[in-house]
Structure 1
Amino acid sequence: MDMSEDRNNAMEARKEPFWVFGYGSLCWNPGFQYQQSITGYVKGFSRRFWQGNTTHRGTESKPGRVATLIEDKEGITWGKAFLISADDNAALPYLSTRECKLGGYRTHTVNFHPRPNLFGSSSSSLSITEKKNALLYIAVPENKHWLGAAPLPDIAKQILECHGQSGPNAEYLLRLADFMREEIPEALDEHLFSLERLVRKFASDMKICLRTLMGEEPQEEKQEVKAVVPSYQFASRIPEKKLRCVNM
C-alpha cells in the first residue's frame, strides 16, 4: 500500500481510466461522474466508525461518527469501486475536498478485488479473478477529527444524536447498512450491523421515527409485506424493522 498523498497528483497526471474504492457514503452517494461501478472488496482492512465528522454528519461542538478503515491482517472490507475517465478533471478535486479537506482522510492505493458474479453474467469488464489498483481514502489517528474506539452503545448513541450539513448521522449508517444488505448480502460486517441494530433499538426506545429523520415518507401498513430473508444471511444481518412514527 502506498501511504503517500502524492499518489493523488500522480493519478491526476495519468492518461488512462482509474478506480476509486468506496466503503462509506461513496457506496450510495458517490457525487461524481463515473464510467462503471462494481462491488468488491479490499484485503487487510476492517471498517470502523472511529472517524469524527464536523461538516457532513456533525458539527464542531457535536461531531458525528463516520467510517474509516483500520489495518487488520485478516480483515476484508466490502464496498464499491468506481471507474473514472482519464479525461475527467472534476472527480478528484471533488473527492479531495469532500474526503481530505473536510473529512480528514488521506489518499492511498490498494488492490481491489471484484466480487465474483454469482449469476454468471459477463456484463462487467473485469473478470472474476482480476484485481485492480484503486484509490482509497483512509482516516488515520493523527488527523484532527479522529475519535477512535469506544463501546458500541456509546458510538450508536452518538450517531443517533448527531446531524450535519448532509443530514443526520444515522442516515449515513443506515444507508450504508442497506447498501451492504441489498447489494452484497453474503458479506459479513459485525461492526456495521451491530451499530445498525443498536441505533434502531435506541430510536425505538426514544420514540424517534428513523424514516422521518431521514426525510422519507412513513410507510403505510399495506406496504409492510417484505421478502423472506434468505437463510444464508448471517445472524447479525437482522432484517430491517418497521418503525412507527409517534406524534410528539
Structure 2
Amino acid sequence: MWVFGYGSLIWKAGFNYDQRLVGFIKDYRRVFYQGSTDHRGTLDYPGRTVTLEPAEGEVCYLEVREKQYDQKAYLDFFTEPTATSPAVSGIMVYIASPDKKLNRNYLGPASLEDIAKQIVHAEGPSGPNRDYLFQLEKALLQIGCKDKHVMDLANEVRGILSQGEQTAS
C-alpha cells in the first residue's frame, strides 16, 4: 500500500516503510484549512494543519494520526512533471472535507494574516502550531518544492513573531 504524505508525513512518518518516492499528485493544492484539536491545538484554540482541495491544473508534492481527516481518496502519483502515466496508481490520500457535518474540525479559508495569527498562538500536545508550519516549509524546500501558500504563510508568521520580539524589547 502506498500513502501520499503532503504534510507532516513528509518529515515525520511515524511508521516503518519500505520505500519513499518524491513526487506529486495532480489537480489538488495544499491548504491550511484543517483544524487540529489533537496535535497542534486544543478544542478551545485549534491549530491549523494542511489538507488538500481540488484545484484544476495545480500539483501537490508530497489512521491514528489522520483521524480528523474524514475522507480517503486513491489517486495517481507522478515523479516527473512531463510524465503522461503515473509512477504509482491508487495511492491513498487522507483529505479533510469542508462538510462540517462530517468534519467538525474543518476551519476553511481565511486571510493569510488571520491564518498566521491563529498558527502563532495555537499549541497542542505535539507542540506549537508554528513548528508544524516551519517543518513543512523546510521539508518541502529540501525536496525542491516551493509551495507558495506554505512559504507565504511561513513568512507572515515570521513577521508576526518578529513584531512580538520588537514589542517585548
Judge same fold: TM > 0.5, yes or no: yes
> Which digits, 9 at most, give the CA deviation of each residue in 1:189-232, with x for residues without a partner?
21111001001111111119xxxxxxxxxxxxxxxxxxxxxxxx
Deviation at 1:63, TM superposition (A): 0.2
Count of matched residue pairs: 163
Rounded to whole Å, the distance in 2 between the matches of 1:173 and 1:53 is 13
RMSD: 2.0
| Corresponding residue of 1:205 | 163
> Which digits, 9 at most, give the CA deviation of each residue in 1:75-111, with x for residues without a partner?
11011xxxxxxxxxxxxxxxx12102xx233211010
> Which digits, 9 at most, give the CA deviation of each residue in 1:109-155, with x for residues without a partner?
01011257xxxxxxxxxx9x652121000000111000000000110
| Corresponding residue of 2:141 | 181
Which secondary structure does the structure 1 equivalent of 2:165 belong to?
coil
| Corresponding residue of 2:77 | 112
The residue correspondences of 1:115-194 to structure 2 (distance < 5 A) are 115=80, 130-132=86-88, 133-142=90-99, 143-184=103-144, 187-194=145-152
Which secondary structure does the structure 2 equivalent of 1:38 belong to?
coil
Unaligned regions of 5+ residues in structure 2, if any?
none
Match of 2:48 among 44, 48, 65: 65
The alignment's TM-score, normalised by the length of structure 1, stands at: 0.62
Unaligned regions of 5+ residues in structure 1, if any?
1-17, 80-95, 117-126, 209-246
| Corresponding residue of 1:56 | 39
Identical counterparts, % of pairs:
38
Which secondary structure does the structure 2 equivalent of 1:136 belong to?
strand
Equivalent AA in structure 2 for residue 110 of structure 1: L
Flag the 1:115–1:172 CA change in 2: closer, same or farther, 3 A.
farther
The alignment's TM-score, normalised by the length of structure 2, stands at: 0.90
Flag the 1:115–1:29 CA change in 2: closer, same or farther, 3 A.
farther
8 Å contact kept, 1:39–1:115: no
Rounded to whole Å, the distance in 1 between the matches of 2:146 and 2:138 is 13
Equivalent AA in structure 2 for residue 34 of structure 1: Y
Which secondary structure does the structure 2 equivalent of 1:193 belong to?
helix
